[in-house]
Amino acid sequence: MVRLCEERDLPDGVQRGLVGPILNRFEKRGFKLVAMKMTTPSEELLREHYADLQSKPFFPGLLKYMTSGPVVATVWEGKDVVKQGRAILGATNPLQSAPGTIRGDYAIDVGRNVCHGSDSVETAKKEIGLWFKKEEVQSYKLANYAWIYE
């Protein structure tokens, strides 16, 4: 039932003051925040994280953008959180994102789409391992757990 999802408010989300509203959407949905940190990612970390994109023509620009300032990395836990997290974020292209999603409400351009979210449980595990040490991911039970899950 419980899966972990890695989500990040990208430099544009941080610069625009959207960290709180983004976190709030996950919390209001009932997901549990188990790790969070603000960091400016290194080029080495980003090359590993985006290894599948290194041959793309936009990759140098992505590196420059992602190292331009801090991001807020989070790990969320809950039932089907990867799939549901993707629904909360909206489509990668904000112009295809429905109103009410993070990208649908706060973004216009693909290259400034405010946040990143894991696309599968396997990817989430890999990404969490890149961004967090094992001891940085907390284990606890929410006081309102019984009001969220049967």
- Taking only the tens place, the pLDDT of each residue in 108-128 is 999 999 999 999 999 999 999
pLDDT class of 1 with cuts at 50, 70, 90: very low
24-45 pLDDT, tens digit per residue, is 999 999 999 999 999 999 999 9
For residue 41, give both structure tokens. Answer: 């990612």
For residue 70, is pLDDT > 60? yes
Task: Determine which one of 34, 81, 116, 132 is catalytic.
Answer: 116
Q: Is 49 a catalytic residue?
A: no
- Model confidence over 86-109: pLDDT tens digits? 999 999 999 999 999 999 999 999
Topology of the domain comprising 4-137: Alpha-Beta Plaits (3.30.70)
Starting from the edge strand earliest in sequence, which strands make up the sheet with 115-117, in order?
32-39, 71-79, 2-9, 115-117
- pTM equals 0.92
